Amino acid sequence: MSTLLWQKDGVVVDAAIQAFLAGDDVILDREFIRYDITASRAHASGLHKIGVLDADEWAAIDRELQQLDQDVVSGAFVLDAHYEDMHSAIEARLIDRLAETGKKIHTGRSRNDQVLVATRLWLKAQLLACQQHCTAIAQVALARAAQDRDVAIPGYTHLQRAMVSSGLMWWSAWAEAFIDNAERLRATAAWLDSNPLGTAAGYGVNMALDRAHVTEALGFARMQVSPIYAQLSRGKFEIAAIEAVCSALLDVRRLAWDLSLFTTAEFGFVKLPAHYTTGSSLMPNKRNPDVIELLRAAYARCAASRTEIEQLMSLPSGYHRDLQFSKPAIVNAFKQGGMALALVSPLLDALVWVPEKLNASLDASMHATDLALELAQSGMPFRDAYQAAANPERWETRSAESSLQARVSPGGHAMPMLEILAARLQTLI
Ligand code: ARG
């Protein structure tokens, strides 16, 4: 371990204690270091604005930070247990390259606001990526709603045959769901779009940092003005971000369940592209929908990460090292969530319906509700119409199209539903 930033008074740090303090934190910081570098560049420019760094010092620091960023990307610089954390690594590198000038970078900041700003920038990027995945899912679902509008699909309640449904209805459901999910991700990103850098250890600093400049340079919509609240928001914002992903994954879970059922031999409604299935190591006859099952399971891991942070959050105000454990949780949640969401739109694009199987699962009973409502519309009181339509002798085999025509959307027209969803989707692109 290199010299610790805070080592003083000749106290020797015990290796086991140091390892316990660090855990895998420094390895996790690989996920965040580029954001810490970005924030360090903004901080240096802010220090220049207020005269702490002269033009040459600022230029040198900025050049070295850009170089470090490139080295992180190329692999020439590897963050490892040689450093206590990414914050120490960045400062050590600047001091190594720039000596006295490098020692100025930490003026007016603390690792407490550094970690906040790096993770906040990361969360914003992750939320945006997940929002884009959800928008892509909604786009595919909406295109397929138009394309498969006349595919008749049995509609179930309680997993019992209920009414005739359609490709239009099934796909529109996912389109509307993922428009909502994308909007929630976007709203959450806007909700936490505030700059904590400049709040230092949680009690501000006795120097006139140009926080407005740094906030703008980092692309934040606003700054967190209360230093104590900046610390209180750690964990709270992380939970909100994970919840927004969880919302999308709840829909993925139910979609995956539909596909899991629809691909069984018993239903057989849908064929998956071969690369979305796997074989069995023992049973030569098998093609298993493992991808769909892991899509279904992604919610559980994401929700567990949310719980993990919630468990940590029983703390008084101020910074506490406990909060360090919110980092593995957000990485886990967004890795799982992001990977799962990214796979959904190509999967949906490649789904193939099997009309023979779908048609074989429709029966005359599934038109009974339509019949009851037709009788009611021609004047019979609904309860009497219901009784009349319950009689199997009145059930007739109808074409799915005729029964669907009247129910596809408000007003009985397919297109307004698709147009309404397309207009909402447009605001997300
Ligand atoms: N790894 C630490 C965290 O995630 C960085 C902040 C350390 N601050 C401190 N005062 N020890 O919270």
pLDDT over threshold 80, residue 190 = yes
Q: Atom 10 of ligand 1 has which residue's CA nearest to it?
A: 112
Please report, rounded to a whole number, the percentage of residues in the chain having pLDDT higher than 90.
82
CA 81 to ligand 1 centroid distance, Å: 15
pLDDT score recorded for residue 3: 60
Helix (H, G, I), strand (E, B) or coil at 208: coil
List the chain domain ranges.
Answer: 15-104, 111-147+168-357
pLDDT score recorded for residue 199: 98
Q: Closest Cα partner for 333 from 366, 303, 296?
A: 303
Mean pLDDT of 42-68: 98
Mean pLDDT of 275-287: 83
Question: What are the DSSP calls for 320-373, one per residue?
Answer: -GGGGGHHHHHHHHHHHHHHHHHHHHHHHHH-EE-HHHHHHT--GGGGHHHHHH
The answer to whether the Cα torsion of 37, 38, 41, 42 is positive or negative is negative
Helix (H, G, I), strand (E, B) or coil at 278: strand
pLDDT score recorded for residue 405: 66
Helix (H, G, I), strand (E, B) or coil at 128: helix
pLDDT score recorded for residue 139: 98
CA 111 to ligand 1 centroid distance, Å: 6
CA 24 to ligand 1 centroid distance, Å: 13
Least confident of 42-56, 171-185, 297-311, 357-371: 357-371
User: 6, 25, 115: which to mutate for ligand 1, most atoms within 8 A of CB?
Assistant: 115
Least confident of 4-13, 127-136, 150-159, 234-243: 4-13
Please report, rounded to a whole number, the percentage of residues in the chain having pLDDT higher than 70.
96
What's the whole-number average pLDDT of the chain? Answer: 93
Task: Give the Å distances, CA to CA, from 424 to 218, 251, 388, 417.
Answer: 29, 18, 41, 11
Is pLDDT larger for residue 62 or for residue 287? 62
Model pTM score: 0.94
Q: Atom 12 of ligand 1 has which residue's CA nearest to it?
A: 324
pLDDT score recorded for residue 281: 85
CA 11 to ligand 1 centroid distance, Å: 20
Domain 15-104, CATH among 1.10.275.10, 1.10.10.60, 3.40.50.1100, 1.10.10.10: 1.10.275.10
111-147+168-357 is classed in which CATH architecture?
Up-down Bundle (1.20)
CA 25 to ligand 1 centroid distance, Å: 9
Mean pLDDT of 377-406: 86
CA 37 to ligand 1 centroid distance, Å: 16
Give bridge partners of residue 164 from the DSSP assignment.
154
Residue 412 pLDDT level (bands cut at 50, 70, 90) = low
pLDDT score recorded for residue 152: 92
User: 30, 35, 112: which to mutate for ligand 1, most atoms within 8 A of CB?
Assistant: 112
CA 301 to ligand 1 centroid distance, Å: 25
From the CA of 6, give the closest atom in ligand 1: 11
Neighbours of 266 (CB within 10 A): 10
Q: Is 201 exposed, middle or buried (0-12, 13-18, 19+ CB in 10 A)?
A: middle
Mean pLDDT of 258-285: 90
From the CA of 327, give the closest atom in ligand 1: 4
Residues with a CB atom less than 6 Å from ligand 1: 25, 85, 111-112, 115, 319, 321, 323-324, 327
Dihedral angle at the C-alpha atoms of 92, 93, 94, 100, nearest 10 degrees?
A: 50
Residue 1 pLDDT level (bands cut at 50, 70, 90) = very low
CA 321 to ligand 1 centroid distance, Å: 6
User: 90, 197, 321, 326: which to mutate for ligand 1, most atoms within 8 A of CB?
Assistant: 321
Neighbours of 340 (CB within 10 A): 26
